[in-house]
């Protein structure tokens, strides 16, 4: 099998308007499966104390100072921006808030950072451009950094990139995002995305280079779909903000699957809506029948769920294969009997494998701390927790170089730019923040008996990290049409 890490120009043929995308970025994984590069972990996980710059690890006898906006002698204030309360998709990114709050509990119980406690403030961006901009303005006024955010409408980044620090310099504020949907957000100079970004920066208009993780879907297509089989890609089309995130992935998947002939896709694409009732999803089933298709792909858990439920009502679709991404990784999805057999690709270890990884066990322990019973986190919570852990590594770097009173926005931004690949502690694979290229790792799961079961790679506690999982291509973003 040939190595897929190469460039290929692709004609822009579809206007894909998408809602729940960060969803694509690092979640679609592996093609070379006879051999995989995996990260092995401990066989028994136990919660460990932090390996970071905490009060117990530094000389906290030094008089602490208020060194920066959001940094007092006792506290570091961090903002998290996340779309939660809204009419379109209520609670969509509550997981990002929950994940960074779990990290806050963990770090404060274990000495804090740079001899200070951490305070998390959530600004609800409500899938609203104005409210999102207000969030950045508020963070500029009050926070040392923005960590773990997930928003759909980060389109005005002027405040984040140019706001003044305590010294009066237009330094901007660190935005260590869980993921970034908008291209302008991905290319903001003070934004660094722990799950990686799809496209190259700076934005120049016209063609843009993209790198997509295609591994999980490639495995699915090679092992579950008949040779030369075709499918339908159903793209959420309720809002236009995520077009630049959805189109590159779909184009990459079709290119890798060699389903493009003379510039035209041999797969079908249709625009869907999360607002549509179940019966309206029957239009996709008509396409499947008429075109004799073999699989269904969507980034939306609601579209997959409603289409599969309607397929059960109509009957005759038992041989169709179904594929989704991280948006479908939830207890509610797996417990829906209509989802039996659906494949889901994620870019981190599945939560049911906590005994194989110390970091995963730590995340779940603190996520559930103070809750009644054991709750399964939303998928976004894992990425927000990761952002917090990366932030710890950055604080380590600043304190090592400048001391516990060296916390400034300039210093933390310099540390981020210089960090390179962070340590994901084998719960995630690390992303090189200096390039932002998405991770080449994945785990492919399948819903079986109302639970997620590992499909590939076989060994629990591991990720497939083959370089063949990445596919680099070009897309003309100035001429996009829906098929």
Omega before residue 290 within 30° of 0, cis: no
Let me know the angle formed at the C-alpha of 390 by 431 and 58, rounded to the nearest 5 degrees: 145
pLDDT at 352: 96
Helix (H) or strand (E) holding 84: none
Buried residues in 171-186 as b, exposed as e (16+ CB within 10 A):
bbbbbbbbbbbbbebb
What is 184-240 written as a DSSP string? HHHT-TTEEETT-BSB-SS--SSEEEEEEE-HHHHHHHHHHS-TT--EEEEEE-S-S
pLDDT tens sequence for the chain (483 residues): 333 332 333 333 222 223 333 343 333 333 333 333 333 333 344 444 444 445 446 779 999 999 999 999 999 999 999 999 998 889 999 999 999 999 999 999 999 999 999 999 999 999 999 999 999 999 999 999 999 999 999 999 999 999 999 999 999 999 999 999 888 999 999 999 999 998 899 988 888 899 999 999 999 999 999 988 999 999 887 776 656 667 788 888 888 876 544 555 678 989 888 889 999 999 999 999 999 999 999 988 999 999 999 999 999 999 999 999 998 999 999 999 999 999 999 999 999 999 999 999 999 999 999 888 788 899 999 999 999 999 999 999 999 999 999 999 999 999 999 999 999 999 999 999 989 999 999 999 999 999 999 999 999 999 999 999 999 998 887 665 556
3-state SS class at 364? helix
Place of tokens 């008509």: 286
Give the whole-angstrom CA distance, residue 341 versus residue 321. 8
3-state SS class at 471? strand
User: How far apart, in Å, are the Cα atoms of 368 and each of 136, 351, 358, 406, 460?
Assistant: 29, 13, 16, 33, 23
The CATH classification number of 66-204+355-419 equals 3.40.50.2300
> Domain spanning 9-39+208-353+436-476: which superfamily?
Response regulator (3.40.50.2300)
What is 21-58 written as a DSSP string? -GGGTTT-B-S--SS-------SS-------S--GGGS
Give the whole-angstrom CA distance, residue 448 versus residue 429. 26
pLDDT at 375: 84
**How many residues are given for the chain?**
483
Buried residues in 367-402 as b, exposed as e (16+ CB within 10 A):
beeeeeeeebbbbbbbbbbbbbbbbbbbbbbbbeeb
pLDDT at 1: 33
Dig out the tokens for 446 from the structure: 């399948």
User: How far apart, in Å, are the Cα atoms of 133 and each of 70, 126, 140?
Assistant: 19, 11, 11
pTM: 0.86
Same fold, 9-39+208-353+436-476 and 66-204+355-419: yes
User: Domain limits of the chain?
Assistant: 9-39+208-353+436-476, 66-204+355-419
pLDDT at 242: 56
Dig out the tokens for 410 from the structure: 């300039």
């Amino acid at each position: 099998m040939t190595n897929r890490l190469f460039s290929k120009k692709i004609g822009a043929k579809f206007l894909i308007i998408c809602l729940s995308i960060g969803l694509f970025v690092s979640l679609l994984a592996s093609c070379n499966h006879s051999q995989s590069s995996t990260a092995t972990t401990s066989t028994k996980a136990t919660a460990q104390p932090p390996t970071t710059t905490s009060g117990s690890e530094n000389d906290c006898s030094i008089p602490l100072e208020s060194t920066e906006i959001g940094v007092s002698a006792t506290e570091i204030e961090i903002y998290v921006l996340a779309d939660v309360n809204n009419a379109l998709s209520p609670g969509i990114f509550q997981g990002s808030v929950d994940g960074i709050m779990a990290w806050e509990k963990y770090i404060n119980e274990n000495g804090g950072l740079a001899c200070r406690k951490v305070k998390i403030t959530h600004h609800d961006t409500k899938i609203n451009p104005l409210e999102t901009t207000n969030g950045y303005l508020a963070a500029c006024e009050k926070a040392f950094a923005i960590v773990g955010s997930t928003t759909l409408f980060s389109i005005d980044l002027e405040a984040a990139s140019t706001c003044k620090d305590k010294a009066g310099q237009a330094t901007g504020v660190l935005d260590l995002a869980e993921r970034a949907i908008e291209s302008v957000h991905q290319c903001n100079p003070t934004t660094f995305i722990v799950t990686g970004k799809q496209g190259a920066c700076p934005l120049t208009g016209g063609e843009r280079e993209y790198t997509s993780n295609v591994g999980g879907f490639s495995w699915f297509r090679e092992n579950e779909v008949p040779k030369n089989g075709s499918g339908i890609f159903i793209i959420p089309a309720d809002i236009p903000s995520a077009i630049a995130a959805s189109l590159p992935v779909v184009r990459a998947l079709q290119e890798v699957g060699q389903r493009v002939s003379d510039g035209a896709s041999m797969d079908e694409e249709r625009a869907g809506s999360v607002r549509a009732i179940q019966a309206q999803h029957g239009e996709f089933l008509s396409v499947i029948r008429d075109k004799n298709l073999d699989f269904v792909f969507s980034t939306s858990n609601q579209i997959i769920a409603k289409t599969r439920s309607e397929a059960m009502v109509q009957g005759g679709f038992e041989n169709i294969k179904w594929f989704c991404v991280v948006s479908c990784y939830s207890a509610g999805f797996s417990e829906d009997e209509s989802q039996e057999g659906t494949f889901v690709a994620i870019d981190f270890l599945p939560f049911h494998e906590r005994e194989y990884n110390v970091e995963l066990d730590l995340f779940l322990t603190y996520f559930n701390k103070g809750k009644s019973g054991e709750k399964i986190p939303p998928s976004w919570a894992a990425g927000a927790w990761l952002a917090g852990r990366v932030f710890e590594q950055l604080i380590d770097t600043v304190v090592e170089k400048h001391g516990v009173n060296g916390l400034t926005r300039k210093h933390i931004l310099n540390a981020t730019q210089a960090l390179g690949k962070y340590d994901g502690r084998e719960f995630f694979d690390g992303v090189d923040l200096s390039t932002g290229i998405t991770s080449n790792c994945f785990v492919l799961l399948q819903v079986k008996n109302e639970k997620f079961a590992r499909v590939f790679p076989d060994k629990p506690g591991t990720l497939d990290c083959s370089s063949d999982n990445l596919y680099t291509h070009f897309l003309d973003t100035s001429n996009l049409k829906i098929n």
